[in-house]
Structure 1
Amino acid sequence: MMENIIQDVESNVSWLSQFGSVPSGGITRLLYSKEWFDAQQALKQKFEDMGLETSFDEVGNLSGKLIGSQHKDQVIMSGSHIDSVVNGGNLDGHFGIIAAYLAVQYLKQQYGTPLRTIEVISLAEEEGSRFPYVFWGSKNLLGLAKKEEVLNIKDAAGTPFVDAMRGLGFDFKQDDSAARKDIKAFVELHIEQGSVLETEGNTIGVVTSIVGQRRYNITLKGEANHAGTTPMSYRKDAVYGFSRICTESIAKANAAGDPLVLTFGKVIPKPNTVNVVPGEVMFTMDCRHTDQAYLKSFTEEIEKDMQAIAHEMGMEIVIDRWMDEAPVPMDTDLVNTLKDICEKEQLNYRLMHSGAGHDSQIFAPRIPTAMLFIPSIKGISHNPAEKTKTEDLVEGVKALTQALYQLAYQN
């Protein structure tokens, strides 16, 4: 079994990477683009060649099923998303589909028909890279996507979401709230997109939870004025105000320590010219933690600090918290199953949380869900330089194969 796993992993990664490849060496495979459609159609053919029953749902999620002999309506699902960011890497999401496909191929060859149906899923979209909407694939699968949320959105070129979808033969579900009821477990293999596994020398991460996130758009309003004639003591310099907010907030985040992270990722000063005291700064803030109560208390403290700094400096501040996602725990029984597999197979693993969002966070509150991580070299992702050692990719496939065996072939 799995004698040719290294060759299988390398050849399949190379094969899928051709769909959406760009001159930089990266991948651009956006929802409902030609590159996306070609990749889904090619995967469909690959699934069929292996003897899986294939189908697209209304919005373009692709399924390949190895039907169970005794409990065909109990589905053990594995896979990930097929879309990419602009000029991204060739593993984020995509390898989860390849790994699931290879795991099912090996299991079928070695053990034949499973007791429960195994389904490889290539989810239509997760990244939000073309349209301002995320998790379109998994949300539709679970009856969470709302038609009105995408009816009027467009991509950067002005193409309406609906036109792009219908142009490829897909459409809205007749019932938004209709959800799959046959999925008994979902296991997602993914590159870490961070540097913990590589730094600590582990080859497998068993994910216990996905962090909660609070995201903000914040506008600090001071007063624009002449850079040469306005004394320092008279100024309401919005950049200086932002620098104080940033410095003091990051200091508190460092003091709080792991697993809290805080990022000021986008800063737009106005008028943004050399000889004018900046009168306004728009900036973003992203804060994440595995504990919802702590995330809430920390960010509320930072909000008060920002307001106090603005008041002290005679400025106005507008704080818009536009995302407030709670942490999502993985299923305890599935986590224990993955731990047992890693110990039995003598895999070098660690328990860890995910600092990034994944389709698993959509599944987990509704279906028993677990995640496996494999290392990312230097933690790089969403970048053509995204890479994982072949031997680590192989270890991930081995762990996933054993997990699907336990869930689909055992009573």
Structure 2
Amino acid sequence: MVQLDKEVLENVAWISGIGADPTGGTTRLLYDETWLEAQNGVKAKLEEIGMATKFDRIGNLFGRIEGSRYPNETIMSGSHIDTVVNGGKLDGQFGVVAAYLAMKMLQEEHGQPLRSLEVISMAEEEGSRFPFAFWGSKNLFNEAKKEDVMDIADFNGVKFVDAMRQAGFDFKKEDEAIREDIKAFVEIHIEQGNVLEMEQKSVGVVTSIVGQKRYTIVLKGEANHAGTTPMKYRKDAVYAFSKICSQSIDKARVIGEPLVLTFGKVEPKPNTVNVVPGEVLFTMDCRHTDQAALNDFTAEVEADMKQIAAEMGMKIEIDLWMNEPPVPMDTEIIDVLKKASDKAGVNYRTMHSGAGHDSQIIAPHIPTAMIFVPSIGGISHNPAEDTELPDLVEGVKTLAAALYELAYTE
């Protein structure tokens, strides 16, 4: 246990130091120098424990232990290596470190597995450098298309294609076959919320990843003089927005978990002290683990918005620009995680993920499950992001126990 504590601490410190930002946290973006240094560093660590390593064409890294009896059945674990700007020391990269340490521990204790074990350090998930997310996991299943990224550039004007080729990578060949040997994928991740911490649980067994709908909405009333326009003649867009916001959130609170609703961005125009605002642009983010419930609630809210706008003599434009379905995790692997946790006396709970992860891309293709460890204060994507060491260690042990069941038993 002491050794695992030490290894978790050392490896988290090592990887978060690659791309350490002078202003705090870690910044390691797809195809930049620190990203390449981290991928090559992980590659070296995997080779040190006897894994055969390789990159695919776009930069996903794989480390493999061949199975003794069923080498063509692969059990995979890992996460993404990129960060957000000024990110924390755990998001994504802890999943890579934990997979490496879990497989190292399994080899030392049990030798060669029956099925092949594989660590994956995915090229990208965050969309922090270029306006495209899940580049790593989408390429595993040919869901990322060349035309999606051919014309995009980063905030410095560097083209995606140029950055990729500068780092030594290129597009996948169009006729490259999708792997059929991967029989299970288990990703460990920090929760990025405060449920586990509040309930004093060390581990979360994730049952599903929420579906998301995101909107940009514009309310158009009439800008007018704040002093000379009587209240009864106003078409105040902020007032209309406030009614929409209040009414919608009240309804969401009545329904309760796992539904969540957020009005995150609000831009009134002309946004000055002495003018009745004639227009408001705002966003709405709604999430639920059940597609029908998500559809029903958002349809009701959209109808409410239109009714409020009509009653107040305003126009409304509703643009639904993201519509991602909920993704359930594999019930058999969930059972493996629960049984392994029960056997080890792990203090866990089942829960859903309110954030997106590589697992939501992988799950429709491969049996997939996720393990969460607590986030202190629920903080993530922030230099203050942290998890208590005993919880990190418990997470690695839970992952190792699940991988043992999947790769070492008949």
Q: TM-score range by the shorter chain?
A: over 0.9
Distance 2:229 2:162 in 1: 53
Gaps of 5+ in 2: none
Task: Confirm or deny: 8 A CA contact 1:17 1:27 kept in the other structure.
Answer: yes
1:384 is matched with which residue?
Answer: 383
Give deviations 1:168-219, integer Å, cap 9, x for gaps. 1111111277422111100000111111111111111111111111111111
Report the Cα offset of residue 25 of structure 1: 2.3
Does residue 62 of structure 2 align to residue 63 of structure 1?
yes
**Greater displacement, 306-315 / 389-398:** 306-315
1:182 is matched with which residue?
Answer: 181
Q: Secondary structure, in 3 states, of the residue corresponding to 2:168? A: coil
Distance 1:39 1:230 in 2: 61
Report the Cα offset of residue 379 of structure 1: 0.8
Task: Confirm or deny: 8 A CA contact 1:209 1:327 kept in the other structure.
Answer: yes
- Once the two structures are superposed, the pairs formed by residues 81-160 of structure 1 within 5 Å of their partners are 81-160=80-159
- Once the two structures are superposed, the pairs formed by residues 3-402 of structure 1 within 5 Å of their partners are 3-175=2-174, 178-402=177-401
**Aligned residues: percent identity?**
65
Amino acid at match of 2:119: V
Q: Secondary structure, in 3 states, of the residue corresponding to 2:109? A: helix
Q: In the superposition, relative to structure 1, how do residues 228 and 156 fare at CA in structure 2: closer, same or farther (>3 Å)?
A: farther
Amino acid at match of 2:302: E
Task: Confirm or deny: 8 A CA contact 1:65 1:118 kept in the other structure.
Answer: yes
Q: Secondary structure, in 3 states, of the residue corresponding to 2:73? A: strand
Report the Cα offset of residue 3 of structure 1: 4.8
Q: Secondary structure, in 3 states, of the residue corresponding to 1:213? A: strand
Task: Confirm or deny: 8 A CA contact 1:26 1:383 kept in the other structure.
Answer: yes
Amino acid at match of 1:369: T
Task: Confirm or deny: 8 A CA contact 1:193 1:380 kept in the other structure.
Answer: yes
Give deviations 1:267-303, integer Å, cap 9, x for gaps. 1222223333222211111101111101000000000
Amino acid at match of 1:289: H
Give deviations 1:365-396, integer Å, cap 9, x for gaps. 11011111111111111111111000000000
Q: Secondary structure, in 3 states, of the residue corresponding to 2:101? A: helix
Distance 1:62 1:352 in 2: 29
Report the Cα offset of residue 353 of structure 1: 0.8
Report the Cα offset of residue 227 of structure 1: 2.8
Q: In the superposition, relative to structure 1, how do residues 253 and 176 fare at CA in structure 2: closer, same or farther (>3 Å)?
A: farther
Distance 1:58 1:7 in 2: 34
Gaps of 5+ in 1: none
Distance 1:262 1:87 in 2: 26
Task: Confirm or deny: 8 A CA contact 1:225 1:277 kept in the other structure.
Answer: yes
Amino acid at match of 1:130: R
Distance 1:278 1:86 in 2: 35
Distance 1:137 1:363 in 2: 11
Task: Confirm or deny: 8 A CA contact 1:144 1:176 kept in the other structure.
Answer: no
Aligned length, in residue pairs = 410
Distance 2:342 2:318 in 1: 47
Give deviations 1:70-102, integer Å, cap 9, x for gaps. 222211100001111111111011101000000
Report the Cα offset of residue 241 of structure 1: 1.4
Distance 1:176 1:27 in 2: 37
Amino acid at match of 1:271: P
Distance 1:274 1:37 in 2: 50
Report the Cα offset of residue 400 of structure 1: 0.5
Q: Secondary structure, in 3 states, of the residue corresponding to 1:4? A: helix
Distance 2:355 2:131 in 1: 18
Distance 1:154 1:244 in 2: 39
**Greater displacement, 48-57 / 292-301:** 48-57
Report the Cα offset of residue 131 of structure 1: 1.4
Distance 2:155 2:272 in 1: 27
Distance 1:18 1:294 in 2: 43
Distance 2:71 2:198 in 1: 42
Q: In the superposition, relative to structure 1, how do residues 35 and 64 fare at CA in structure 2: closer, same or farther (>3 Å)?
A: same
Report the Cα offset of residue 225 of structure 1: 2.4
